[in-house]
Structure 1
Amino acid sequence: MDEEYDVIVLGTGLKECILSGLLSVNGLKVLHMDRNDYYGGESTSLNLKQLWKRFKGDDNPPETLGTSKDYNVDMIPKFMMANGGLVRVLIHTNVTKYLSFKAVDGSFVYNKGKIHKVPANDVEALKSPLMGLFEKRRARKFFIYVQDYDESDPKSHEGMDLHKVTAKELISKYGLDDNTIDFIGHALALHLDDSYLSQPAMDFVRRVKLYAESLARFRGGSPYIYPLYGLGELPQGFARLSAVYGGTYMLNKPECKVEFDENGKAYGVTSEGETAKCKKVVCDPSYLPDKVKKVGRVARAICIMSHPIPNTHDSPSVQVILPQKQLGRKSDMYLFCCSYSHNVAPKGKYIAFVTTEAETDNPKDELKPGIDLLGPVDEIFFDAYDRYEPTNQHDVDSCFISTSYDATTHFETTVNNVIDMYKKITGKELDLSVDLSAASAAEE
């Protein structure tokens, strides 16, 4: 502990482990500490006995649910875009060699009281029951515009500067109705609310293109992939990466108190009477509670079932997005389902999550529209946690604090936070212009 490090990372949540790995690869001397005796922090995975202990207070689940070790239940369940930021980070760092991935079977959206497959290209749009005949023609023209759009080729822009034209103006050119806009904006572009409509359309178009590109990677039923045995493998993969590049890990270190000098700048971390010195501290919000503010609360239900989510083509793994307008809410709701097909439950069992940003003091009632879509459940657990964002000035106190995980069941917002933190810590852009064909080793 009496050494000096470039960076001390506190907490082994997924964001912290990714950063620890990236910073070690970048040549920085990293010490990674956690007050827990396991990897993953808030984003850990639990077996059935651990799940029971956490939510029911004992570790005696009914035998009818199967063997405890066959369960890997993610506490922050999220799928990865096959062409998205996290996959690029995995390939950039070669962490793919520690993990095996499998495509997610389905991507669906809730519309007018029913679950529908998300159409992601012009051909699917023509078949979709989400739209009438004339709307399908309009949507097809929009999808063709997006597919053909090339930022470096003005001919493909059709006279529109997407850095100036808003998403609403672009969509209005194609005359799409509100329901179509809803599933494109929320289930394809994965926007969290409707504020994107008044912003420049470039980000919106890039997101829809990313969805289509990710779908094409596997030519399967969805643009998402997910690791076998759940997300608990990811923090450990990045921890191994950090260790390969000289990073030091210390689990089960109580307290982990950040030390500040007279100017309020972090210079080290004390645990068990010893202080490790450093230039910068990276941590999750729980380690520096006086430097963060509460910005929301996530509500979720964890359900064990003996069947897939109804009306999802019997998909063993699936995401369903319920756009805010369809529920009369301010924020979307997400259904996440995985099963034995990804080795997170015994044969014949399914783990489903219903997650949303809490908007009232009765999150159980808020989750009801999502839970009602699941059909019969064997067991249900309710959970909620506060979301925090940093309020400190990292250039003053040398502390770099991640944001809490949001309600989304995909990784795009998580990766954006990691990339932003990496730039602040190192002063460099993270180059993720990798050849995704190299990802074949990561594909099942």
Structure 2
Amino acid sequence: MESLSDTLWDVVISGTGLQQSLLALALSRSGKKILHIDPNEFYGGPEAAFSIQEADAWVARVSASSDGGIFKSASFARPEEAITGLSASRGYSLALAPQFIHARSALLSQLVSSRAYRQVEFLAVGSFYIFKPSQDAGQKPSLTRIPSTREEVFSTTAVSAKAKRSLMKFLKFVLDYENSPHLETWQPFAEAPLVDLLQSSFKMDTELQTYIVTLTLSLDGKIRTKDGLAVIRRHLSSMGVYGPGFAAIYPKWGGLSEIAQVSCRAGAVGGAVYMLGTGIEETEIVTGEGEGEGEIKLRLTSGDTVKTRKLVRVDERPSGRVGISRVTAVIGSPLKSLFEATMEGAPRPAVSVIAFPAGSISTVAGKASEYPVYLSAHSSETGECPVGQSVVYLTTLTNPNAQEILNNALVGFISATSDAEPSPVLYRLQYEQLAGSDKSHIEGSVFNLPAPSASLSFDDTTLESVREAWAMVMGDDAGGAEYMVFEDREGAAEEDDGYE
């Protein structure tokens, strides 16, 4: 077998984040010589999932890092009174990217056509809730389910009869919004905030507007009408695709991390060489005329120097756009009320989403939250924590008060879901994720993928850059190949089982 340095690689893929891993999946039957490296000692990159011990070590690396990566201000805490409630470190799988996937997502179609779906177990994402703060000192805050189907609208007691009519009218409108006469209704508002359309054309009050905007998962709460309508239709049209009562699914064992690992497994089975703990120290483009022109020489942190025709990496340079702040908490309670089937025949959900509208949470100094906070609650069915516990992921746009707002939202959530004594927080991880480039770009033989999306649900535009990178690597062979469409391979199950 040729050594790393003696081989002319068709492509070196740097990083095992979701995008790079999907590229490995797409190339897994191509016969190309692929070297897939990652400076980390784990798979998944910014979409990784960690045990408690691994999360602690990750915080230490982020704190010590000066390479301009997308994560910063990372810390963890184990309240002393709750330490005894934590199970063994390996009993947890805390996701850096706890994104769920709508049933109508192109990602699921590609996982099916590539046969990779057989290696991933998916769970139902249940109800969406609105957090309502207490009105006086003697009351607890509460959670109100957002009705997003015809049946839920009719059965809910959270909205008035008049509001129900407005809501039903809007839900029917969204499902056919791209056709006349609905098209003429919203086009004048296309670039305006969605709430302008809701107020003007559907006479919705502020509370009902909040319900609708929450379904868009807009991080700033100011989503444009044309974007908001598309997101809500995807949510509504996804309802019931894989079963009654839910519109989205979540990969077990750590969300997108599991898809990244399955995709890398396919790359390895296809012959790709994997090297963790190996990054790129220096990149040199061979110039001039003659043999080797346009090739790339890479000096790796392992000490090897390799040659490749193409290099694919992620552009993680900060873009100046606002990033996100996150808190991940292990709760010493199963939170059973959030994981109940909403209708007969529906599966028990493993994930529920709670929105804290802008202004619903305040700092100690009385500063109200500028942006919405979203909380994704995960039961032990996700494999991310032991039975009897839950994991919650809180997200908001980064701002000077973000971490305090997130921690206060966590306190409010625990108050709203605890019957007597507040459920204990057993472990808390917090960090910021910077916003990188949101577009891919090519520099000669180097393809730069966009930075990971901060969206709360999987963003299908991510797949466009992966396909562009695939076409660049395939070159002339791309014309005769079907993208992400593979036949079953004899003995594939045995091969996959043998991959570590």
- Identify the match of residue 358 of structure 1 among 398, 419, 441: 398
Report the count of equivalent residues: 417
Shift of 1:239: 0.5
Correspondence for 2:69: none
Larger CA Rg, structure 1 vs 2: 2
Q: Is the 8 A contact 1:333 1:370 kept in 2?
A: no
* Alpha-carbon separation, structure 1, partners of 2:456 and 2:222: 20
- Identify the match of residue 148 of structure 2 among 109, 120, 123: 120
Q: Are 1:141 and 2:169 matched, yes or no?
A: yes
| TM-score under structure 1 length normalisation | 0.80
Q: Is the 8 A contact 2:325 2:431 kept in 1?
A: yes
Q: Is the 8 A contact 2:339 2:379 kept in 1?
A: no
- Tell me the alpha carbon deviations over residues 187-208 of structure 1, each in whole angstroms, 9 at most, x when there is no partner: 32333334433x5x3x433322
Q: What letter is aligned with 1:302?
A: T
- Identify the match of residue 36 of structure 2 among 11, 32, 35: 32
CA 216–331 in structure 1, closer or farther in 2 if over 3 Å, else same: same
* Alpha-carbon separation, structure 2, partners of 1:56 and 1:204: 35
Correspondence for 2:218: 191
What is the correspondence of 1:403-422 to structure 2 with a 5 Å cutoff? 403-406=451-454, 408-412=455-459, 415-422=460-467
- Identify the match of residue 333 of structure 2 among 307, 315, 319: 307
Q: Is the 8 A contact 1:44 1:75 kept in 2?
A: yes
* Alpha-carbon separation, structure 1, partners of 2:237 and 2:86: 38
Q: Are 1:72 and 2:93 matched, yes or no?
A: yes
Q: Is the 8 A contact 2:126 2:351 kept in 1?
A: yes
Q: Is the 8 A contact 1:7 1:280 kept in 2?
A: yes
Q: Are 1:249 and 2:253 matched, yes or no?
A: no
- Identify the match of residue 11 of structure 1 among 9, 15, 31: 15
* Alpha-carbon separation, structure 1, partners of 2:189 and 2:322: 31
Unaligned 5+ residue runs, structure 1? 435-444
Correspondence for 2:468: 423
Shift of 1:359: 0.9
Q: Is the 8 A contact 2:440 2:449 kept in 1?
A: no
Correspondence for 1:224: 248
Shift of 1:48: 3.0
CA 355–192 in structure 1, closer or farther in 2 if over 3 Å, else same: closer
Shift of 1:348: 0.5
Q: Are 1:324 and 2:358 matched, yes or no?
A: yes
* Alpha-carbon separation, structure 2, partners of 1:188 and 1:391: 23
What is the correspondence of 1:17-416 to structure 2 with a 5 Å cutoff? 17-24=21-28, 29-53=33-57, 54=59, 62-111=83-132, 114-147=142-175, 149=176, 151=178, 154=179, 157-158=181-182, 160=184, 166=190, 167=194, 170-171=197-198, 172-185=200-213, 187-197=214-224, 199=225, 201=226, 203-231=227-255, 232-260=257-285, 267-271=296-300, 272-285=302-315, 289=317, 292-309=318-335, 312=338, 317-324=351-358, 326=360, 329-360=369-400, 363-375=403-415, 376-390=423-437, 394-397=441-444, 398-406=446-454, 408-412=455-459, 415-416=460-461
CA 256–249 in structure 1, closer or farther in 2 if over 3 Å, else same: farther
Q: Is the 8 A contact 2:324 2:397 kept in 1?
A: yes
Q: Is the 8 A contact 1:258 1:268 kept in 2?
A: yes
* Alpha-carbon separation, structure 2, partners of 1:220 and 1:258: 52
- Tell me the alpha carbon deviations over residues 81-127 of structure 1, each in whole angstroms, 9 at most, x when there is no partner: 22223322322322111111121233223356642212112332233
Shift of 1:411: 1.7
Structure 1 residues 131-140 or 169-178, which shifts more? 169-178
- Tell me the alpha carbon deviations over residues 31-59 of structure 1, each in whole angstroms, 9 at most, x when there is no partner: 2111122211222212233335545699x
CA 5–371 in structure 1, closer or farther in 2 if over 3 Å, else same: farther
* Alpha-carbon separation, structure 1, partners of 2:360 and 2:12: 45
Shift of 1:356: 1.5
Q: Is the 8 A contact 1:301 1:380 kept in 2?
A: no
Q: Is the 8 A contact 1:296 1:386 kept in 2?
A: no
Shift of 1:10: 0.9
Q: Is the 8 A contact 1:67 1:346 kept in 2?
A: no
Q: Is the 8 A contact 2:239 2:245 kept in 1?
A: yes
* Alpha-carbon separation, structure 2, partners of 1:432 and 1:426: 9
Instruction: Give the secondary structure class of the aligned counterpart of 2:414.
Output: coil
Query: Greater helix share, 1 or 2?
Result: 1
Instruction: Give the secondary structure class of the aligned counterpart of 1:104.
Output: strand
* Alpha-carbon separation, structure 1, partners of 2:56 and 2:373: 25
Q: Is the 8 A contact 1:304 1:379 kept in 2?
A: yes
CA 25–322 in structure 1, closer or farther in 2 if over 3 Å, else same: farther
Q: What letter is aligned with 2:353?
A: Q
* Alpha-carbon separation, structure 1, partners of 2:158 and 2:234: 21
Shift of 1:373: 1.0
* Alpha-carbon separation, structure 2, partners of 1:77 and 1:64: 23
Q: What letter is aligned with 2:425?
A: D
Structure 1 residues 204-213 or 364-373, which shifts more? 364-373
CA 47–281 in structure 1, closer or farther in 2 if over 3 Å, else same: same
- Tell me the alpha carbon deviations over residues 250-270 of structure 1, each in whole angstroms, 9 at most, x when there is no partner: 22214453334569x882432
CA 97–356 in structure 1, closer or farther in 2 if over 3 Å, else same: same
Structure 1 residues 162-171 or 298-307, which shifts more? 162-171
Correspondence for 2:68: none
